[in-house]
Chain A
Amino acid sequence: MADVATTSGDAKAANGAYRTRFQMFWREFRRNRGALVGTTMFAILIAMVVFAPFITRYDPIEPNFSARFESPSAEHWFGTDRNGRDIFTRVIYGGRISLQVGVIAVAIGALLGTFLGLVSGFYGGWVDNVLMRFMDFVLAMPGILLAITIVFALGPSLTNVMIAVGFASMPQYARVVRASVLSAKQLPYVEAARANGAGDLAVMGKHILPNVFAPVLVLATLGLGSAVLSVAALSFLGLGAAPPTPEWGLLISDGRGVLRRSWWVATFPGLAIMVTVLAVNLIGDGLRDALDPRLRGQV
């Protein structure tokens, strides 16, 4: 009984601490004007992407040959492409694909990197040595080149681009998580948990993992911007999405051949990428400053 009371008391205290910590974070985050602007921009973007069918009456895929290469107008805000498709519609629907692919790529990199960083830092010794040398080798290649190598081996497709971009970003997470684990595993409460007979998995999952949450979240947010850029670049090169998918990089590639006659085909998808990456970077900066200002300069 006494045990139950203590546990519930601990939970309350922990809950209180969590609230306070969240409130502290929110106060810091709110103070950052850039972060608020970024959050607003991103919220609008998500709303547009989610409610795309209510915002535009055009189809993103179906051609309309009677409206080919129309310049921006009240009817077609961003103009139309070679198949008469509304660019605004394709940009909004493209957001669904580009954001989804970006988020999944980040998730792959973050999960894989966090797992390997956790194992590396926790076990140390030869496991740490082997994993970290492997990370050094991965990091020694420019990310886009590594992604191109993987897509070349797996074959061009959007799924493989996600895997490639995710894999290329993995070492950043692994390094940051490993560093956090190395300092966290020295903390008295981790030693106490061990002394109480907690197994490796319990110590890693319950006591160490929460410590790496902040840096991983910051890295993942800033990483989403880079992932959106990399995915678009690979699709632009013809290694990702296949036509007629309205993916942002592919839309820019579509506009490349008709730049002289129809500048709008390539311009607006690029602006969409820029606004998205800008919003994500602003949020990432805000998160970093609010959650862990020591990361400034590192991420």
Chain B
Amino acid sequence: MIGYILNRTLAALVVVFGVSSLVFFMLHLLPGDAVTIMLSEFGASAREEAELRDQLGLNDPMLVQYGRFLANAVQGDFGNSLFSRRPVLPQIFEQLPKTIELALAATIVGVLFGAIFGITAAVMRNTWWDSISMIVSLLALSMPNFWLGLIFIFVFSLNLGWFPVQGSDTLWHVVLPAFALGLSFAGLLARLFRSAMLEVLGQDYVRTARAKGVAERSVINRHALKNALIPVVTVVGINFGFLLGGSVIIEIVFARQGIGNVIIKAIFAHDFYLVQGGIIVTAALFVLVNLIVDLTYGVLDPRITYT
């Protein structure tokens, strides 16, 4: 068990290293290096550009730059923001809780609605409710989340006045963004819950339970649901990472604090190191969530052995 955990953690660290390298090389090898991106708006002279390039060590060979980047990164140093002059990492960590709060709230919305629609659709297979549930979930999957966010603002904030239009101060502020982000996830989960439940409901042990005279509610809750949850948990875990990515746009729509907001603002301010650090931290978080899912998987399914 400990060996397995160590193994998976090591693999996750390799992925974080790989992703960081990928981001580094993408930002350094693609046309437009840090200086070009930073100075694109200010019309700096060639001398100033050369000076800045020298100051940032961009005249060194790429491998030297990469080595320096790695050496600094393992010490948590991703450089300083060009505008606030503060180290990048603390700035990102300050915003992290708000992004996690949104991603968690969206996951809850997704799981709740996905489970309600998916499970009831499976239990009432081939009825009008099944059809409606699947149509609604497909619609939810097809909607752009940023657009849905705007519609929510128009209906629930501007017209009904039930929720604040923007900000991230209270829990009340997270409701609309969580629904905007989580509903398409609910659509995906509803389809998954339905097919997982249908598969489980066709198993011998469910038939046996019914033959024994176990009440239908108990068959669903105690026998079927527990097993149908297994594939769902993996998808929830993987999608938590995607919700982290999706929160980039939702944070902009609702003017919420969070990593997404920092990254997008940094992009428009050409704050190179803040963008690089923000992207790497989000990707690392994504890998961490997948690792946690991987490790807790066995708790749900005792058939999985750690070797």
Residues on A lying within 8 angstroms of B by beta carbon are: 34, 133-134, 136-138, 140-145, 148-150, 152-155, 225, 229, 232-233, 236-239, 249, 252, 255-256, 259-260, 263, 266-267, 269-270, 273-275, 277-278, 281-282, 296-297
- Chain A positions within 8 Å of B32 at CB level: 153-155
Decide: A297 near B195, CB < 8 A? Known: A144-B245, A277-B142, A281-B138: yes
Decide if B195 touches A136 in the complex (CB within 8 Å).
no
Decide if A152 touches B275 in the complex (CB within 8 Å).
yes
Shortest distance between the CB of A74 and any CB in chain B (Å): 24
- Chain A positions within 8 Å of B279 at CB level: 141, 145, 148-149
Query: Does residue B18 face the partner (Cβ distance < 8 Å to A)?
Result: yes
Query: Does residue B31 face the partner (Cβ distance < 8 Å to A)?
Result: yes
- Chain A positions within 8 Å of B264 at CB level: 148, 237
Residues on B lying within 8 angstroms of A by beta carbon are: 15-16, 18-19, 21-23, 26-27, 30-32, 37, 138-139, 141-144, 146-148, 150-151, 153-154, 158, 195, 231, 241-242, 244-246, 248-249, 252-253, 263-264, 267-268, 275, 279, 282-283, 286-287, 290
- Chain B positions within 8 Å of A144 at CB level: 245-246, 248-249
Complex-state Cα separation, A91 to B15, whole angstroms? 42
- Closest residue on chain A to residue B25 by CB atoms: A153
Decide: A154 near B142, CB < 8 A? Known: A140-B18, A143-B245, A270-B151: no
Decide if B139 touches A153 in the complex (CB within 8 Å).
no
Decide if B146 touches A236 in the complex (CB within 8 Å).
yes
Q: Which of A138, A140, A267, A281 is B287 in contact with, Cβ under 8 Å? A: A140
Complex-state Cα separation, A263 to B146, whole angstroms? 15
Decide if B15 touches A281 in the complex (CB within 8 Å).
no
- Closest residue on chain A to residue B259 by CB atoms: A145
Can you list 17 contacts pairing A with B, beta carbon distance less than 8 Å?
A140-B283, A140-B290, A141-B22, A141-B245, A141-B286, A142-B282, A144-B246, A145-B283, A154-B32, A225-B142, A233-B144, A236-B249, A237-B264, A259-B154, A274-B144, A296-B195, A297-B231
Decide if B158 touches A278 in the complex (CB within 8 Å).
no
Decide if A259 touches B139 in the complex (CB within 8 Å).
no
Decide if B15 touches A137 in the complex (CB within 8 Å).
yes
Decide: A140 near B19, CB < 8 A? Known: A148-B279, A273-B147, A278-B138: yes
- Closest residue on chain B to residue A267 by CB atoms: B151
